[in-house]
Amino acid sequence: MTVIYLIIITAVFVKLSVFVHGVPEVSVDIVRTIVSETGVPNAVAGILLRNRVYDTVFEVMVFTIAVQGVHVFLSGYDPVKFVTYVREETSVILARLGASVAAMICVELAIRGHLSPGGGFAAGVAGGTAIGLVAITSPPEKMQRHYERWRAKTVEKSVILIFLVTAGLFLLRPDLFRGDMAVLFSTLAIPLFNLLIALKVTIGTWIVTQLFIRYRGLL
């Protein structure tokens, strides 16, 4: 996976540094200009796909590097034998209630978050908060079983790969999304990206949480 990450990141940087587009002529009919440049009939979707996708790709890369950095840093420690977690009944109930609310917010933002700033990242933060609240009130063995059962690392890497490949195709080969294909793509692409980012940030946060539990004994 490291080699795949490096290839995709290199391709994006080459795209940005070598294939420099000329400055477009200023047009009064900005909506028509955006539609013609992106090949997407929906002008709002065109703006988001053509401009925000660059920002989103690099944000995903930064978060991925952060998760890998935590893994590399903590792997130098020996796993702890005793993990501290909250056992007091009232605190556990309040934490689980907060986790339920955060999980519902995560789902709502993952479905409709592309309509407002933040989008998938805000959903991922809410999802990570829910997992963190459950983790600090649960036995570490139970959390580890769920972590292995759902194959968190594999899912995170798969989500990253799907997102980067899809975004890379749009950046490097925008002609693939012109014509009749553009109608379907403009409708589904942004919600799909939002869901992928929400899932990636949520699982990435879960991985970081498990690493701190395993190697530091607390959050």
Quick: pLDDT tens for 169-179: 777 766 665 55
pLDDT for res 174:
63
> Which of 17-26, 33-42, 67-76, 141-150 ranks highest by mean pLDDT?
141-150
For the segment 40-52, the average pLDDT, to the nearest whole number, is 68
For residue 71, which of 164, 203, 209 has the smallest C-alpha distance? Answer: 209
Residues 23, 40: Cα–Cα separation, whole Å: 20
Query: In a 3-state reduction of DSSP, which class is residue 210?
Result: helix
pLDDT for res 6:
72
Residues 139, 87: Cα–Cα separation, whole Å: 9
pLDDT for res 7:
79
pLDDT > 90 in the chain, percent: 32
User: Around Cβ 140, how many Cβ atoms within 10 Å?
Assistant: 18
For the segment 147-174, the average pLDDT, to the nearest whole number, is 84
For the segment 44-63, the average pLDDT, to the nearest whole number, is 74
199 pLDDT above the threshold of 80: yes
Give how far the C-alpha of residue 163 lies from the chain's centroid of Cα atoms, to the nearest Å.
Answer: 9
Q: Which two tokens stand for residue 199?
A: 């899932």
146 pLDDT above the threshold of 90: yes
- 67, 204 Cβ separation under 8 angstroms: yes
Between these two residues, 105 and 75, which has the higher pLDDT value?
Answer: 105
Q: What are phi and psi of 118, to 5 degrees?
A: 100, -60
* DSSP 8-state secondary structure symbol assigned to residue 118: S
pLDDT for res 59:
80
pLDDT for res 26:
46
Out of 53-62, 70-79, 107-116, pick the least confident.
Answer: 53-62
User: Mean pLDDT over all residues of the chain?
Assistant: 81
Q: What is the pLDDT of residues 10-32, one digit of tens each?
A: 776 776 666 555 545 544 467 77
Q: Which two tokens stand for residue 107?
A: 């789902």
pLDDT for res 93:
95
pTM: 0.79
pLDDT > 70 in the chain, percent: 73
Residues 28, 63: Cα–Cα separation, whole Å: 39
